[in-house]
Amino acid sequence: MTLQAAISLTPQYVELLRDIQKDGKGIGLSKDFLSVQSKLGSYVLNYESELRINTACALFFLGEDRYKELCEEVNASTTEEQQEFIDEVGGLDSESIDELFSSFDLPKTDSEKEAARVAFEALSDDEKNIASRRAGFFWSFLFSSFFNHLALMVHGSKMTSLVPKAIAGDEDSFFKAVQIDRMLLIHHPYFRERKALAQDNAEAGFLSRLSYRESSSPLKGKIQYPGLYMLFGILDAYQWLDDLKHDEILDICDAAGLDRYQNRIEDVNYITKRLIEYHRWQKTGGLSMH
């Protein structure tokens, strides 16, 4: 993932994060986002490894045919040729990345929704199939990567860490993962079966803890800087947060379109203070400190 991709993704993630903050309980996503999330719930399987999330991203960017071709080429390639593959997946220019991500913004008004429906219906059957599958890869990547970053913000561990640990029998990881994304209980076989087993065996303690996590918002307290914290989370997930200079992070904030007034981003010293608070907030499991 390139820095430019992170910059392009931030506004999409911030929209989801703000949806969560609108409601004091549960996930609180808007009806449009929730509809897409429910239909494509199999994205929760991506939490089993970072590779699955990255593959969904590559399939969206490159298309299935080109992705398969490149995989076949990589299997019979030299180290240098493999690097070329990595560069092609992650080296799209900023204009191409912005165009790809902006093309999958959900229409918000009734007229936009009708225009999108008419445009889709005008496609041939083959074009509809390609467009639907490509959209599926996009949303699979968007949701799984968003909740992956959100888990890192809230619990200090990504979903790609929590979910494998839960499958291995770690109950704390199970509950933390469910708090971040309740779709696990519907679409992930292990989480669905573990809940059913607890119900069949009347595991009161387990069910009580699960009920609490299901009804809790991923963000236990309001955060004053949702856009800034989400950007920190993205940079943190790709291990850039501690490597970038604070003036570089300030430049990234501007490039990502984070309004300095709304996010109260003033200067480099302010970024430094917010980073300290972010790490402290992260260690408390998302409890508000304001």
Distances in Å between the alpha carbon of 102 and those of 5, 18, 53, 228, 273?
12, 18, 19, 20, 32
pLDDT value of position 263: 57
Task: Please report the pLDDT score of residue 183 as a whole number.
Answer: 93
Task: Flag whether pLDDT at 200 surpasses 90.
Answer: yes
State pLDDT tens for residues 122-148.
988 888 888 888 888 988 988 998 899
- Using pLDDT thresholds of 50, 70 and 90, give the confidence band for residue 174: very high
Provide, rounded to the nearest whole percent, the portion of the chain with pLDDT above 70.
Answer: 76
When pLDDT is cut at 50, 70 and 90, the band that residue 288 belongs to is very low
CA distances to 9, 84, 146, 201, 254 from 88, in Å: 19, 6, 23, 51, 26
Q: What is the pLDDT of residue 94?
A: 53
Q: How confident is the model at residue 234 (pLDDT cuts 50, 70, 90)?
A: confident
Q: What is the pLDDT of residue 262?
A: 55
Amino acid 280: pLDDT: 78
CA distance linking residue 57 with residue 75, whole number of Å: 20
Q: What is the model's pLDDT at position 191?
A: 97
43 contacts 57 by C-beta, under 8 angstroms: no
Confidence check: pLDDT of 222 > 70:
no
pLDDT in tens, 35-53: 778 888 899 999 999 889 8
Sign of CA dihedral 13, 17, 19, 20: positive
* Residue 243: per-residue pLDDT: 87
pLDDT in tens, 77-115: 777 766 666 555 554 555 555 565 555 566 667 787 788
User: How many CA within 13 A on the CB side of residue 135?
Assistant: 15
Average pLDDT over residues 210-232: 77
- Alpha-carbon gap, residue 8 to 126, rounded angstroms: 29
State the average pLDDT for the chain.
79
Q: What is the mean pLDDT of residues 191-200?
A: 97
State the pLDDT at residue 187: 95
Can you tell me the distance from the alpha carbon of 150 to that of 45, in angstroms, rounded to the nearest whole number? 17
What number is the average pLDDT over the span 262-282? 77
Residue 181, pLDDT > 90, answer yes
In the predicted model, what is the mean pLDDT of residues 233-256?
A: 84
Between 17 and 253, name the one with better pLDDT.
253
Query: 101-115, 194-208, 222-236, 259-273: which has the highest mean pLDDT?
Result: 194-208
State the pLDDT at residue 239.
Answer: 79
Rounded-to-integer distance, Cα 40 and Cα 49, Å: 18
Report the pLDDT value the prediction gives residue 35, as an integer from 0 to 100: 76
Whats the size of the chain, residue-wise? 290
